[in-house]
Structure 1
Amino acid sequence: MANAAPFQDSQGAPVMAGKKARLLAGYGLGDFGLNIYWHSLSLILVFWYAEVVGLDPKLAGWIYALGLLWDAVSDPLVASIAATNRSKHGVYRPFILFGSFGLGASFCLLFWHPPLEGWFLFAALLAAAMIFRTAYTIVAVPYSALSARLTFSSVERAELSGVRMFFAFCGMLCVTAFFFPFSRWVEAQGSTQDTGFLLVAALGAFIATLALVTCFAFTREKPPLGGQAIEGGWSLKSFKEAFVRNSALRLLLVVLFFNSAAGASVAIVMAFYIEANSSIFANKEVIMSSYAVATILGTPVWTVLARWLGKKKCWYLGTVLTVAAGFWLLMSGPFVIAGVPVQLIVYGFALPSFAIIIWVLIPDTVEYGQFGYGKRDEGAVFGSSLFIQKASGGLTGLAVGYLLSGIGYNPERDIQTAQTAAVLGDFIAIAPALLLVTASITLFLMPLSRDLHARIVDELSQG
């Protein structure tokens, strides 16, 4: 069997070690910037709405859910536009460059507390969320699809995904380590709490924009496999065709739905869980930063395991670790060391096993479909994948908002009730485990494997 296509430049020549490192670092920096935004949303935004702005948790959940559901609509549209774009800078890279500036500005708007009340306040915050989500989509969707044009080797995609996740979790660490402390520092200088959040958002936007511009400069796209392949954008017709003819895509979307819900069930609830246990837990930034460090440390471990064990076994191992941590939390309660619940650290360590594999499976699914029916449906595959991820996260965010209201979580209360803390603990123990087990069962049925994908790439390369 021929070795799958290595990292190449835009002319198809193999990339030397120095250029390969530049490409990997450049692509990783893009996700560093995007995850400053993403983890500010997933870890902090609902908390900001409820605790700082003072919204009812149900309304906060609705803003989060409607924003993600808007993503679910806009992501496929942007994927379609991007997949059919042609320019001297490539198909996807121009969106990363030119979209990064508007994205930074909209992020600042997202954390602005307008001087309004009632439904006017809700409408203004919802509008800001929609503007940001649109700007994020314009950059994030082409960035994700870019991975399909950097290498066609499933093994090297695992390496690329591992580097990407390392940078992504470094972005998360920046958010967890500095967002709350810096906002408190600004407040201590005489400003309001809202001003502190806004200034942190402005700083984060500046750093993220620099990272995305660097990603554009350091990466290069290469032509798709199979010179005669038809390249399609996203439309209902193209999605229906891909969904019907590509069995790997059908199963992939189910895996993505349950995996995204599992991740959101931890990320969105985490700040509230920490707040509800403030009498025994360390500050939010300490626990969240410990969680982020665990993901960073886990990334190279899971990257090596993915190459050694293969994608599916790596995923199963991560699921077993998560289920074990959830069962431990459910049976014994939080095991606290220096104010940090160890079970959350185990969750953080296991997280990269899923993130790395997902971003190998999605582009591999493109070639699986191309081999099966001769059409390279990057737009349909990436668009529908992102649609499912965002829809799943939005529904989970909405469910969390109603959960918080239903159990009596009160942002005005300095210390939440013991019952509230217990229910949040049970939720964060049970929900991720059940969702990941369901995702693992579905993954077991997927026809894609490393050897099969390598054979597909060989066939397409010769065509």
Structure 2
Amino acid sequence: METESLTKPRPTATNFPRTTTLRNKLGYALGDVGNNFLFDMGQLYLLKYYTDVLQLPSALAGTVFLVAKIWDAFMDMGVGTWIDNRQNIGPRGKYRPFLLWAAIPLALLLIANFSIPNFSVTGKMLWAYLAYMVFGTCYSISNVPFGSMIPTMTRNSQERAELASFRQAGSNLGLMLATIGFMPIVNLLPTDKSGYLVAVVGFAVIGVLCQWGAYANIREVYTQPAKPKATKADIQKSFRALLKNRPLVTLCLVNLFTFSAFNLKLTVQVYYCQYILKDTTAESWLGVFSIGMVFVAVALVPLLTKIFDKKTVYVLGCLIWAVADILGFFFANSTVMLVILTSIAYLGDGFTSALNWALVSDCVEYGEWQSGIRSEGMVYSAFTYFRKLSQAIAGFVPGLVLTWVGYVPNQTQTATALLGIRGLMFFYSAGMAILTIVVMHYLYPLTEARYRQVLTDLIHRRQAAPTPVPVNH
């Protein structure tokens, strides 16, 4: 392993070297294809599996998501703290090995969630709670390191935006394929129970292969020596630093809004297609066109961020999203109109989703600049903590509302139930997008000019001491 000379002139914030190849970016995208094959099955189809296959009451089934995701949120923080303070870091890197180690356990646990035996309601609920909570813990061990890697792959701000876009492209490719392919597989089998199991096994196997492919093609370019073993006081100091990181706190808050809206829409759309449009094939069309529109957003984001601040592009995406969903509530009465308006909404959502991973990497640098503490794992896990809370909301609220409006599985729904499904599908997400615009505009302080100044200050500080440098593997 060769190291760049520390005597070379250090780059400035505006011309930090580009250190990732197309292969690295595609590998990072492939990792999120695998993440979504392993994760989206639960977010998209598990509530319907509970209510329609296991015949669990909707509100009771929704509590599984509430409890499990709150548990996951705390697991993310614990995993982030553990990773930041790992002592034995081998030649594979600090973060990459988790993609290799966690893939198979994660796949087996996903299958267990769709293999609930024909127990009593109490037995089914206990299995559901345990399986989904253990699955979430394993997913944290895989996903927190994966998301923490961007700052170790490049210091170049534009390249980070590109990596974030590649990751979002991979995420949405995985989501699109899951949306298009899952239910047709289920419908091929003689019973829904066997159909769900076969579909989940297929996606789980491919998900493992994608994660291993990502492991083989991602490189951690910037390395740092292992930190001294953290004391309780060190960990407390790191947590206090997180709370003072205003860009991070703001980003966490808006993700609570936007990610709950996105995941709730994914959960509810299967009900919308079946009971309002009476067209179960509509979900596959949504996968092709609506989620496919996010690829357009992913392509546009690097171009837009060359002209505007990331913050401005983020707010623009939420505005597009909100307008499209408000129109959707009133006019999405056919498959064609649903696909068109949801495609526009997902275009706006794609701006926010693609930028999240670049913004959280900027928050790492800001946190180090502000407090002197660099903690990629803890910053990322704080970010995902709120995303997990949003998933808890997205799983719990539909179950609660469906019970409240009188939803009955596999029956003709009342006008009240249909209105509840329509409101969940459109008004909730539109409201969350508007709230995000307000919070992001007034509270997020990190413009591009501000970020460049922060990074320049950090560069000057590091000149007096050894600093992470690119290495050739």
Task: Give the counterpart letter for 1:153 in structure 2.
Answer: N
Within 2, Cα distance between the matches of 1:311 and 1:124?
Answer: 43
1:419 maps to which residue? Answer: 416
| 1:436 matches 2:433 | yes
Listed as ranges, the matches of 1:160-175 within 5 Å are 160-175=163-178
Q: CA deviation at 1:341?
A: 4.1
Match of 1:359 among 353, 357, 360: 357
Within 1, Cα distance between the matches of 2:94 and 2:226?
Answer: 17
Within 2, Cα distance between the matches of 1:245 and 1:116?
Answer: 48
1:399 maps to which residue? Answer: 397
| 1:120 matches 2:123 | yes
Q: What's the secondary structure of 1:382's corresponding residue?
A: helix
Give the percent of matched residue pairs that are identical in Structure 1 and Structure 2.
Answer: 23
| 1:111 matches 2:114 | yes
Preserved CA contact (<8 Å) 2:27 2:218? yes
Q: CA deviation at 1:103?
A: 0.9
Bigger mean CA deviation after superposition, 270-279 or 239-248: 239-248
Q: CA deviation at 1:338?
A: 4.2
In structure 1, stretches of 5+ residues that fail to align are: 9-14
2:28 maps to which residue? Answer: 27
1:48 maps to which residue? Answer: 49
Q: TM-score, normalised by structure 2?
A: 0.88
Within 2, Cα distance between the matches of 1:145 and 1:438?
Answer: 27
Within 1, Cα distance between the matches of 2:68 and 2:180?
Answer: 25
Within 1, Cα distance between the matches of 2:307 and 2:217?
Answer: 29
Q: CA deviation at 1:302?
A: 3.1
Q: What's the secondary structure of 1:372's corresponding residue?
A: helix
Q: What's the secondary structure of 1:55's corresponding residue?
A: coil
Task: Give the counterpart letter for 1:77 in structure 2.
Answer: G
Aligned CA distance change for structure 1 residues 322 and 268 (closer, same or farther; 3 Å): same
Task: Give the counterpart letter for 2:172 in structure 1.
Answer: F
Preserved CA contact (<8 Å) 2:34 2:210? yes
| 1:459 matches 2:460 | no
Q: What's the secondary structure of 1:102's corresponding residue?
A: helix
Preserved CA contact (<8 Å) 2:272 2:422? yes
Q: CA deviation at 1:441?
A: 1.9
Within 2, Cα distance between the matches of 1:461 and 1:383?
Answer: 25
After superposition, give the CA deviation of every residue in 1:111-166 in whole Å (9 maximum; x if it has no partner).
11312121011111221112211221110111011122111222211110111111
2:3 maps to which residue? Answer: none
Task: Give the counterpart letter for 1:78 in structure 2.
Answer: V
Within 2, Cα distance between the matches of 1:232 and 1:454?
Answer: 30
2:304 maps to which residue? Answer: 305
Preserved CA contact (<8 Å) 1:328 1:343? yes
| 1:215 matches 2:218 | no
Aligned CA distance change for structure 1 residues 338 and 326 (closer, same or farther; 3 Å): closer
2:65 maps to which residue? Answer: 64
Task: Give the counterpart letter for 1:160 in structure 2.
Answer: L
Bigger mean CA deviation after superposition, 152-161 or 216-225: 216-225
Task: Give the counterpart letter for 2:70 in structure 1.
Answer: L
Preserved CA contact (<8 Å) 1:242 1:381? no
Preserved CA contact (<8 Å) 1:107 1:205? yes
Aligned CA distance change for structure 1 residues 229 and 112 (closer, same or farther; 3 Å): closer
1:11 maps to which residue? Answer: none
Preserved CA contact (<8 Å) 1:230 1:376? no
Within 1, Cα distance between the matches of 2:308 and 2:220?
Answer: 29
Q: CA deviation at 1:221?
A: 0.9
Preserved CA contact (<8 Å) 1:22 1:218? yes
Q: What's the secondary structure of 1:152's corresponding residue?
A: coil
Within 1, Cα distance between the matches of 2:106 and 2:386?
Answer: 22
Q: TM-score, normalised by structure 1?
A: 0.90
After superposition, give the CA deviation of every residue in 1:7-36 in whole Å (9 maximum; x if it has no partner).
43xxxxxx5xxxx01100111100010011
After superposition, give the CA deviation of every residue in 1:376-399 in whole Å (9 maximum; x if it has no partner).
022331121111110122023212
Match of 1:90 among 78, 90, 93: 93
Within 1, Cα distance between the matches of 2:231 and 2:454?
Answer: 22
2:343 maps to which residue? Answer: 345
1:38 maps to which residue? Answer: 39
Within 1, Cα distance between the matches of 2:313 and 2:348?
Answer: 10
Within 2, Cα distance between the matches of 1:78 and 1:361?
Answer: 21
Listed as ranges, the matches of 1:163-202 within 5 Å are 163-187=166-190, 192-202=191-201
Aligned CA distance change for structure 1 residues 232 and 386 (closer, same or farther; 3 Å): farther
Task: Give the counterpart letter for 2:84 in structure 1.
Answer: A
Aligned CA distance change for structure 1 residues 303 and 404 (closer, same or farther; 3 Å): farther
Q: What's the secondary structure of 2:307's corresponding residue?
A: helix
Match of 2:366 among 358, 364, 368: 368
Q: What's the secondary structure of 2:306's corresponding residue?
A: helix
Preserved CA contact (<8 Å) 2:182 2:199? yes
Q: CA deviation at 1:110?
A: 1.4
Bigger mean CA deviation after superposition, 415-424 or 195-204: 415-424
Q: CA deviation at 1:340?
A: 4.3
Preserved CA contact (<8 Å) 1:154 1:450? no
Q: CA deviation at 1:60?
A: 1.6
Bigger mean CA deviation after superposition, 421-430 or 118-127: 421-430
Within 2, Cα distance between the matches of 1:454 and 1:94?
Answer: 32
